[in-house]
């Protein structure tokens, strides 16, 4: 080797060492910078609620099993108290637990928790429109209009009863002729047909017509609808909401959810298009007609939140709030009646005594059916259909449970902790309709029974859901007896989504 070669090797060696050290320094600097920025960005005051230790960048994502989030959050109560914090990605959230804490936050301090937070996966579809995730003037205008319009068409009123009873008649006919072969007790999966039945009431109010159970387009829509709600609270949704710039470009179930909601919106737009073609402002047939009239009346006004895209989102939100919770509750009801045949028999005996078989149930019968009412309430409590209320966000600093929660923090009301609160229920972990009855057997309202949440942002469809549930449940008990297929025991497992739904099952319904 020549002297020149030796010198060149030395130069390369020194340069290589320098480059290697420079890369290490750059990586070290980058890591320190990211960790420091993460700490500064997510730092909270000393009086902030406690919670599990967070990891850089991802926060507490690794601490939560998103297939049973409500159970994990309720377990944290024993360690951190009724008001505790979590960080999912870069987003801090405070979880509220127990009836007294939720009442203080959502009712007594409800004005501070009126708004919804920015959630990227939701925002990418709704763009701040609709009834559920809109805020400010848009939310107030849309909610006020929805209440007044739906009330006009019988929302929560006796005039809607015949529509619900007619739909039950369609369902009963479908069950006896197609699914159960003249009610011989053949097992069937109630999921889709119950979804279609309940959704048809919303269709009547919103579209002015119902869909046949055999309508493939509508059946497919209902099937995907439930899947979308399940994805919305999955780990994929949490990753999307924590790292939206990255996740918007990556494949996965989060993209499926966006496709589902966009397809649903297209379905609604087609209905609106058909309404426009034969729309008569002097003849308001349904919610869409009234909304189109409102668009025309408010055209050109300042602060106007009425346009066709808002209409699309409002219709979507009405389906979420007015059908999903009810259909899921009824699916739990069938399981509980099959699991507790003695309770089912007692409900049927009360219905036979008060209503008989010669007439249809009415909301007026409710006062005379205390045990049936108690069973239905216990199904809602124990079924825990909405385990976590939709999130709020603080619009100012608030004090809660001895802690300071700054402005802009996401709030999660844990309804599970209320419906199973040991301070409020005699047997919180046991299915017991007696918790809604006094010593004389009369129905008793319970303050901690808030399956639809509470406060200004309580579920819009609560009054409709109550009517749905009572009339449908009473009608089912009047005409059918539910049991599991031979040799099969009820499995009370769940799918965690926006609603807590039972896993797919088959059941037998025998005509009485």
Query: Residue 220 and residue 151: Cα distance in Å, rounded?
Result: 29
Q: Which residues pair with 501 in a beta bridge?
A: 495
What is the average pLDDT value for the chain, to the nearest integer? Answer: 89
Task: Extract the tokens encoding 505.
Answer: 């099952």
- Residue that has been written with the tokens 């494949």 in this structure: 251
- Residue that has been written with the tokens 């299915």 in this structure: 431
Q: Which residues pair with 95 in a beta bridge?
A: 84, 412
CA distances from 245 to 61, 126, 238 (A): 18, 18, 13
Q: Which residues pair with 55 in a beta bridge?
A: 59
Task: Extract the tokens encoding 84.
Answer: 């505790």
Query: Residue 343 and residue 374: Cα distance in Å, rounded?
Result: 11
- Residue that has been written with the tokens 């979804």 in this structure: 195
Q: Which pLDDT value is given to residue 305?
A: 86
379 and 336 Cβ atoms separated by less than 8 Å? yes
pLDDT of 17 higher than 80:
no
Question: What is the average pLDDT across 435-460?
Answer: 94
CA distances from 18 to 9, 28, 116, 417 (A): 14, 15, 52, 59
pLDDT-derived band at 182, boundaries 50, 70, 90: very low
Instruction: Give, for 48, the enclosing helix (H) or strand (E).
Output: none
Query: Residue 322 and residue 202: Cα distance in Å, rounded?
Result: 7
Query: Residue 412 and residue 91: Cα distance in Å, rounded?
Result: 12
CA distances from 400 to 141, 211, 447, 454 (A): 30, 47, 20, 17
Task: Extract the tokens encoding 2.
Answer: 């020549």
Chain-centroid distance, C-alpha 155? 20
- Crossing angle of the two packed helices 216-231 and 191-206, in degrees rounded to 10: 100
Query: Residue 416 and residue 389: Cα distance in Å, rounded?
Result: 9
Integer-rounded Cα radius of gyration of the chain: 27
Which of 172, 159, 186, 170 has the alpha carbon at shortest distance from 477? 172
Q: Is 496 helix (H, G, I), strand (E, B) or coil?
A: strand
What does the DSSP 8-state code read for residue 437? B
pLDDT-derived band at 21, boundaries 50, 70, 90: low
Question: What is the average pLDDT across 316-329?
Answer: 90
Q: Is 93 helix (H, G, I), strand (E, B) or coil?
A: strand
pLDDT digits (tens, 9 = 90+) for 163-181: 999 999 999 888 877 654 4
Q: Which pLDDT value is given to residue 3?
A: 55
Residue 372 or residue 17, greater confidence = 372
Question: What is the average pLDDT across 127-134?
Answer: 94
Q: Which pLDDT value is given to residue 368?
A: 98
Residue 459, annotated ligand binder? yes
Query: Residue 259 and residue 263: Cα distance in Å, rounded?
Result: 6
Which of 397, 376, 374 has the alpha carbon at shortest distance from 385? 376
Least confident of 31-45, 326-340, 466-480: 31-45
Residue 465 or residue 96, greater confidence = 96
475 and 509 Cβ atoms separated by less than 8 Å? no
pLDDT-derived band at 15, boundaries 50, 70, 90: very low
Residue 410 or residue 224, greater confidence = 410
pLDDT digits (tens, 9 = 90+) for 200-258: 999 999 999 999 988 888 888 888 888 888 888 888 998 999 899 999 999 999 999 99
pLDDT digits (tens, 9 = 90+) for 77-127: 999 999 999 999 889 999 999 999 999 999 999 999 999 999 999 999 999
Q: Which residues pair with 437 in a beta bridge?
A: 443
User: What sign for the dihedral angle of Cα 90, 91, 96, 101?
Assistant: positive
Q: Which pLDDT value is given to residue 353?
A: 98
Query: Residue 388 and residue 410: Cα distance in Å, rounded?
Result: 13
Q: Which pLDDT value is given to residue 29?
A: 58
Q: Which pLDDT value is given to residue 173?
A: 86
User: For the chain, what percent of residues have pLDDT higher than 70?
Assistant: 89
Buried b (16+ CB within 10 A) or exposed e, 190-209: bbebbbbbbbbbbbbbbbbe
State the chain's maximal CA–CA distance in angstroms: 113
Rounded to 5°, angle at Cα 56 from 55 and 57: 115
Q: Which pLDDT value is given to residue 9?
A: 55
Question: What is the average pLDDT across 343-349?
Answer: 98
pLDDT of 12 higher than 50:
no
149 and 157 Cβ atoms separated by less than 8 Å? no
228: Cα within 13 Å, side-chain hemisphere? 24
pTM of the model: 0.89
Q: Using CB atoms within 10 A of its CB, is residue 7 exposed (0-12), middle (13-18) or buried (19+)? A: exposed
Task: Extract the tokens encoding 229.
Answer: 């709600």
pLDDT-derived band at 308, boundaries 50, 70, 90: very high
Q: Which pLDDT value is given to residue 1?
A: 53
Q: Using CB atoms within 10 A of its CB, is residue 323 exposed (0-12), middle (13-18) or buried (19+)? A: buried
Q: Which residues pair with 243 in a beta bridge?
A: none
Name the most confidently modeled range: 9-13, 143-147, 232-236, 330-334.
330-334
Chain-centroid distance, C-alpha 290? 27
List of domains in the chain: 116-385+426-511 (1.10.630.10)
Q: Which pLDDT value is given to residue 26?
A: 65
Residue 147 or residue 226, greater confidence = 147
Residue 27 or residue 175, greater confidence = 175
User: What sign for the dihedral angle of Cα 371, 373, 374, 378?
Assistant: positive
50 and 85 Cβ atoms separated by less than 8 Å? yes
Backbone dihedral angles phi then psi of residue 392, each to the nearest 5 degrees: -115, 175
pLDDT of 303 higher than 80:
no
């Amino acid at each position: 080797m020549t002297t020149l070669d030796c010198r060149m090797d030395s130069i390369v060696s020194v340069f290589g060492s320098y480059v290697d050290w420079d890369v290490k320094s750059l990586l070290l600097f980058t890591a320190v910078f990211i960790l420091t920025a993460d700490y500064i960005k997510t730092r909270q005051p000393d009086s902030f609620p406690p919670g599990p230790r967070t990891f850089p960048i991802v926060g507490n994502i690794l601490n939560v099993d998103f297939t049973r989030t409500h159970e994990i959050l309720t377990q944290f109560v024993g360690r951190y108290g009724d008001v505790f914090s979590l960080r999912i990605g870069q987003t801090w959230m405070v979880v509220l637990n127990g009836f007294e804490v939720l009442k203080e936050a959502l009712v007594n301090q409800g004005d501070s928790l009126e708004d919804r937070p920015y959630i990227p996966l939701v925002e990418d579809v709704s763009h701040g429109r609709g009834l559920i995730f809109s805020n400010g003037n848009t939310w107030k205008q849309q909610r006020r209009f929805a209440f007044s319009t739906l009330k006009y068409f019988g929302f929560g009123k006796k005039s809607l009863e015949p529509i619900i009873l007619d739909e039950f008649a369609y369902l009963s006919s479908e069950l006896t002729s197609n699914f159960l072969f003249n009610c011989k007790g053949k097992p069937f999966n109630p999921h889709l047909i119950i979804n279609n039945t309940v959704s048809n009431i919303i269709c009547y109010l919103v579209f002015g017509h119902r869909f046949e159970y055999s309508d493939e387009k509508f059946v497919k829509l209902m099937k995907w609808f439930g899947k979308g709600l399940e994805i919305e609270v999955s780990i994929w949704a949490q990753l999307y909401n924590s790292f939206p710039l990255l996740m918007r470009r990556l494949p996965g179930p989060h993209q499926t959810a966006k496709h589902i909601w966009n397809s649903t919106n297209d379905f609604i737009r087609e209905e609106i298009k058909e309404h426009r073609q034969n729309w008569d402002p002097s003849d308001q047939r349904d919610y869409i007609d009234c909304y189109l009239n409102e668009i025309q009346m408010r055209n050109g006004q300042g602060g106007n939140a009425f346009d066709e895209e808002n209409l699309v989102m409002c219709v979507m939100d009405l389906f979420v709030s007015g059908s999903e919770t009810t259909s899921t509750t009824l699916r739990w009801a069938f399981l509980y009646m099959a699991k507790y045949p003695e309770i089912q028999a007692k409900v049927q005996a009360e219905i036979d005594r008060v209503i008989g078989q010669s007439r249809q149930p009415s909301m007026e019968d409710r006062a005379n059916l205390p045990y049936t009412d108690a069973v239905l309430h216990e199904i809602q409590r124990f079924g825990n259909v909405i385990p976590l209320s939709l999130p709020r966000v603080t619009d100012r600093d608030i004090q809660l449970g001895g802690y300071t929660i700054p402005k802009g923090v996401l709030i999660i009301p844990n309804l599970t902790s209320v419906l199973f609160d040991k301070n409020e229920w005699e047997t919180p972990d046991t299915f017991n309709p007696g918790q809604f009855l006094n010593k004389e057997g009369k129905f008793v309202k319970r303050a901690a029974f808030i399956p639809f949440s509470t406060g200004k942002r309580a579920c819009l469809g609560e009054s409709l859901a109550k009517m749905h549930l009572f009339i449908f449940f009473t009608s089912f008990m009047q005409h059918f007896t539910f049991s599991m297929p031979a040799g099969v025991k009820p499995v009370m497992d769940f799918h965690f989504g926006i609603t807590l739904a039972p896993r797919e099952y088959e059941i037998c319904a025998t005509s009485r």
